[in-house]
Chain A
């Protein structure tokens, strides 16, 4: 095991931003850490990267209990490197930036030079070796930051939203680098993202965080609404004052709901089953997700629907098309 975490919490003032009863991370794998903004992804990565101390809890790294004393953390940091969401490069040359980790590890000069060129090659930035680091674009900066981390030959690299601030071209390159780091160098990778498709595409395992706690899967289609009962005695949830969904709950008043994308059904208008839970919508976007099809449908609010390959074959929908959508009560989770 790379990391074993037990009863970990991180509290800022009176706010608990992280509360993880148990978490195990294996060596040599790519983990996608998935969660919405503010779910505690960065906080968890900073703790695993030994940059921040947990408020309580136990962390075992490489079968050794971590003591959160500066001297021990300094040693541990030599094996786990974090690449931040918007990494910053030192105001000097690209070469000196990448060399930094090697210098603090007292690697001899000749070897430093070899490693710097090798890792810059790996991220496709070798031509920029003498460039001023601050002249680079966002995507190039991200790639040099990855090279700088790689140069340290770490056991693991933690990435915080590695493609959040880069263009599509660099996104593809960075995703490839992430894969290569793991498959060719055997480095464990943990990356945070709020992009489910990216997580599916890149990771061997997925971890879900929601409001600082591990979740069984990521909550999608998150909405605020209020629960009420109509004249027929049926419980419904009103979302954004316009959309009424039948739900099963004993809760009343303001709630947060999540609609499971796999349980939503989509029909052609002529085939629609009728009934109250059928809503009219328009297909806004279709994307491939590992053979399945993800549809973004506007039903007054945009909802994400995941159609299995067969379901899509039976009901081939097109973007712009008007469709009927059914959200069965069991697809709606009240939180």
Chain B
């Protein structure tokens, strides 16, 4: 118990001092997670919208597969991407392993199903009458789609925020593809894992506090948007 209390008070002091190492780690975490979320949203929102909006063969199985991928373990993604970008892999010459780009690739794969499935359910929740209203007022397919997207905006925001919450807290992909290189690819979670291995808890607890604060803020937003989406 003393260990926790001591670590906690030292951690608070560390945070108060705006330690450069802490700031660098948090910076990498935020940068990588934001980049993955943006890329996954740019692909996942239109894809989810299309799956929800169109009738096509294999629609149900597509949704089932996406739902299965929600439970994708980070180490599986790590392993999978590693196989492609390792020196012996087909993308080996690009020299991506242990870079932020590699982390972003892995994280995008991890959260794409989240963005897509949340978008699908957000679109499906939208009353059919919105589509008919837009159509009868003369809207073409694109204009009708924009109306539905706008009505689903809060649900889609939830998708984006949930995805960000997932990547900021994940450790497997960051560790396996980023390599936890200090100042380059060390994120909050990989740093915490390392500090734990070293038996030093102060930095780990300090980062834990920041991570929890970020998660809490993210969830506040998520809660807000989900509330608006249901209203």
Residues of chain A touching chain B, judged by Cβ–Cβ distance below 8 Å, are 49, 51, 70, 74, 77-78, 81-82, 84, 86-92, 100-101, 104-105, 145, 148-149, 152
Interface centre among B129, B134, B137, B140, by most chain A C-beta atoms within 10 angstroms, is: B137
Across-interface contacts of A145 in B (CB, < 8 A): 133
Q: Is there contact, CB below 8 Å, between B140 and A104?
A: yes
Q: Which residues of B contact A90 (CB under 8 A)?
A: 130, 133, 147, 150-151
- Residues of A near B138 (CB, < 8 A) are 74, 77-78, 81, 101, 104-105, 152
Q: Which residue of A has the minimal Cβ distance to B132? A: A51
CB distance A77 to B150 under 8 Å? no
Residue contact A82 to B130, C-beta cutoff 8 Å: no
Contacts of B209 in A (CB 8 A): none
Q: List, in ascending order, chain B residues with CB within 8 A of A100's CB.
A: 134, 137, 139
A88 and B129 alpha carbons, distance in the complex (Å): 6
User: What is the bound-complex CA distance between A74 and B137, given in angstroms?
Assistant: 10
User: CB distance A88 to B135 under 8 Å?
Assistant: no
User: Which 10 A/B pairs are nearest by Cβ-Cβ distance?
Assistant: A88-B129, A101-B137, A78-B138, A82-B136, A104-B139, A104-B138, A81-B136, A104-B143, A77-B138, A74-B140
Of residues B129, B136, B141, which shows the largest number of chain A Cβ atoms within 10 Å of its Cβ?
B136
Q: Is B127 an interface residue (CB 8 A)?
A: yes
Interface residues of B (CB under 8 A from A): 127, 129-130, 132-141, 143, 147, 150-151
* Distance of A335 from chain B, by nearest CB (Å): 33
Do A148 and B137 have beta carbons less than 8 Å apart? yes
Q: How far is the CA of A152 from the CA of B130 in the complex (A)?
A: 17
The complex places the Cα of A271 from the Cα of B164 at a distance, in Å, of 85
Known contacts A101-B137, A105-B138, then 19 further A-B pairs from the complex at CB < 8 Å, ordered by chain A residue: A49-B136, A51-B132, A51-B135, A70-B141, A77-B135, A81-B138, A84-B132, A87-B133, A88-B133, A90-B130, A90-B147, A92-B150, A100-B134, A100-B139, A101-B138, A104-B139, A145-B133, A148-B137, A149-B136
Least CB distance, A149 to chain B, in whole angstroms: 7
Across the interface, do A88 and B130 meet the contact criterion of CB distance under 8 Å? yes
Q: Would you give 22 A-B contacts (Cβ < 8 Å), ordered by A?
A: A51-B135, A51-B136, A77-B137, A77-B138, A81-B137, A81-B138, A86-B129, A87-B133, A88-B129, A88-B130, A89-B133, A90-B130, A90-B133, A90-B147, A90-B151, A91-B150, A91-B151, A100-B137, A104-B139, A104-B140, A145-B133, A149-B137
Q: Which residue of A lies closest to B136 (CB)?
A: A82
A residues in contact with B129, CB < 8 Å? 84, 86-88
Q: Which residue of B lies closest to A82 (CB)?
A: B136
The interface residues of chain A, by DSSP majority, are classed as loop
Given contacts A51-B132, A104-B143, contact A88 B127 (CB under 8 A): yes
> Which B residues are in CB contact (< 8 Å) with A49?
136
Bound-state CA distance A104–B147 (Å) is 12
Residues of B within 8 A of A91 (CB): 150-151
Which of B130, B132, B151 has the most C-beta atoms of chain A within 10 angstroms of its own C-beta?
Answer: B132
State how many angstroms separate the Cβ of B225 from the closest Cβ of chain A: 14
Cα–Cα, bound, A148→B133 (Å) = 10
Closest to B154 in A: A91
Whole-angstrom distance between the alpha carbons of A74 and B136 in the complex? 9
For the complex formed, measure the closest distance between the CB of B55 and the CB atoms of chain A, giving whole angstroms: 13
**Which residues of B sit under 8 angstroms from A74, Cβ to Cβ?**
138, 140
Taking CB atoms, residues of chain A closer than 8 Å to B143 are 104
